[in-house]
Amino acid sequence: MAEQPLKGIRVVDLSRVLAGPWAGQMLADLGAEVIKVERPVTGDESRTYGAAFLKGPDGEDLRQTPTFLAANRSKKSVTANLASPGGQQLVRDLIANADVVIENYKVGDLARRGLDYESLKAINPRLIYCSITGFGQTGPYRLRPGYDPVAQAMSGFMSTTGVPDGEPGAGPMKAGPSIIDLATGLYASNAILGALYRRDARGGGGEYIDLSLLDCGVAFTSHYAQQFILTDEQPRRVGTMGVSGMPGGVFDCADGKIMLAAGTERLFPKLCAILGREDLTTDPRFLTNGLRVTNRNDLIPILNEELGKWKLADFNDRLIAASIPCAPVNDIAGAFADPQVQERQMVRTVPHPRTGTIRLLGNPIQYGTMSANEHRAPPLLGEHEDEILLGLLGYSPERVAALREAGEI
C-alpha cells in the first residue's frame, strides 16, 4: 500500500446523511481513521434513503443505500445513544483520543448533552471541531433546519440554473446531485486540513469551524455571484449554453447531443470550416465572441440546423481532430463505459463482509507517491464496536455488555 497523507489522524464523525459524511469520507480516503458514531438500531438516516438497497447473499437488506455507500467508505462504525449518559460518555472517551470531530446537529443540540466544542476542548485542547448546519451558528435563521434543496433555493444557485426565460419549461431548476451538500463537505474537509496544518506544523492549538449550507451555496455560485456584485444585475439563465463563450453548450446532432466549446476567436473559424459555413465568420452579428454572446439567439438555431446533419460520433471525431473542446452528453452508464474514466479507475472493487466484494465510486485525487484510493467498504451498523470499545478505549467486556443491555449502544 502507498503512504496515505493523514495516517495517524483520528476523526470522530457524528454527522449524518451527506455534507458531514462527505467531509469525513474525504479524510478517510486520505488515510485518517474515521470512526462513525451512529444511532443504535437505526443508524445514519441515509441508510434508508432511496429505494435501492445493497442485498446480502440470502437477499436480506443490509441497510446500505446508494446515498450511504457514496459517503461512508473506509470508515468504522460504532453506535451510541447520545440521549443517554453511557452514550455521551462513550463519545467523550472517543473524542479524548481524537484529532477531529465532525457534527451536523442543529444549533444547541450537542451543547445540551455536553458534547459541544466548549465542553470537549476541556478534555482535548488540541481538538479540531467542525460544525455543519443549515444556516450557521449566528444570524436570525440559525435555529432552522437546513437541507440541500433549501440552500440551493435560498442561495440564488437555482436562479442561475434551468431553461432561459421565454422558452418552454423556463424557470429555476435544482441541480440533480445534492451539490450544496457536496460542496459543503469539500469546504469542511479543506477547513479541517487547514486547522490541522496550523496545529501540527505551526504550533497552534485546537479550532472551532462553523460552516453553513447557505454560506457554501452562496459561495458556490462563484462567478455568477461576482457578476451580480460587480453589476447589480441578475445573471440570466442560459440552460445548457455557455455563459461567456459562444458557441458553447449542448447542441443537437442527428442521433444525440454534443457539448462543444468553440467560443474563442481561434476556435470559431475552425468550427465554421467543419460545418462548411465559413460565411458565419464574416456575419456582422458574429464577428467577435462578445457579439456572438449578445446574438446567441440568432446563432444557436443556425448551428442546430447544421449539426443536425451530422452523426454524433462523426462530428465528435472531426471536432477532436481540430482540437475543438467537445464531448458527447453521456448518461452515467456512458460515463462509466468511457475508456478514459476506466483508465482513471473511478470505480473500485473492494472486499465487503457480507457480499464478498462491492464496487464503489473512487476518489479522483491521484498523488504521485501517496494514495487517496485505499478504499474499504462502508461499514455495517456497529461493525467495529468491539474493536473500538474493547481495543481503543479499553472497556471491559462486561461494560460493553451492560451498555448494550441498557440500549446505550
Nearest to 367, CA basis, from 24, 25, 31, 22:
31
User: What single DSSP character describes residue 84?
Assistant: S
Query: 286 in the Ramachandran plot: left (φ > 0), alpha (ψ -120 to 50) or beta?
Result: alpha
Catalytic residue from among 181, 252, 255, 283: 181
Give whole-number Cα distances, 139 to 103, 148, 212, in Å: 19, 19, 11
Cα–Cα–Cα angle for 111, 115, 119, nearest 5°? 85
Contacts of 276 (CB under 8 A, 6+ apart): 306
Nearest to 13, CA basis, from 97, 92, 112, 103:
103
Beta bridge partners of 37: 78
Residue 181 known to be catalytic: yes
Strand order in the sheet with 326-328: 248-253, 256-261, 326-328
Nearest to 350, CA basis, from 69, 63, 52:
69
| Residue 407: other Cβ atoms inside 10 A | 13
Would you name the residues annotated as active-site residues?
181
